[in-house]
Structure 1
């Protein structure tokens, strides 16, 4: 369990750093849009991609926070849908999962 918690904390820190970079990009901390219209169009298109990446990162962070809360309560390896044990191999691949493979397939 301590190893999984450490994994989740590391993943959380990485995602928070990534989220910070996405938000800096959206705030144009590197500078305003280029004056060239074609370059502006390219930058605006990049903004849409960054928006999508930011949303995915925030979703993954929510899942990690939820998994950490469950670990703290001692329920981190128990499926929150059926109450059975989550296969350790699944937790190794998806350390922030809170459901067993059978419940995830439903």
Structure 2
């Protein structure tokens, strides 16, 4: 079923620019995190406490990196929905996602009710 996007062209252009900016920020953060992880433990001979702290920090950075990859995928999917003309519509029920939710999380795929169902039962 083809559904028209509920937003006008000006709004979509602004949202698209914001999503691209968000994507650029996530990628820049990811590059900084990668650079930081590469430098851990390279400041001389580490003792056991340094090694433990470095291991923990590298694990945190790796998890952050997965979160960042997921965020980029979400942003890319939102940009694709803009291009397809279905941005702002729930992928499950095809109803319009409330504007406030889209302001807070512009890459939302689901309305609040459907998101709760997806989290509870899976997609």
Question: What is aligned with 1:12?
Answer: 23
Aligned match of 2:94: 83
- Once the two structures are overlaid, the 10-residue window that deviates more, 37-46 or 54-63, is 37-46
Correspondence for 2:60: 49
Match status 1:69 vs 2:83: no
Q: Is 1:32 the counterpart of 2:45 in the alignment?
A: no
Query: Any gaps of 5 or more consecutive residues in structure 1?
Result: none
**TM-score between the two structures when normalised by the length of structure 1:** 0.89
Give the equivalent residue in structure 2 for 1:97: 108
Bigger relative contact order (CA 8 A; separation at least 6): 2
Q: Is the 8 A contact 1:33 1:40 kept in 2?
A: no
Report how many aligned residue pairs link the two structures. Answer: 105
Gap runs ≥5 in structure 2: 1-11, 118-123
Q: Give deviations 1:32-78, integer Å, cap 9, x for gaps.
A: 26412222221111101111111111111110111111111111111
1:92 deviation in Å?
Answer: 0.3
1:31 Cα offset (Å): 7.0
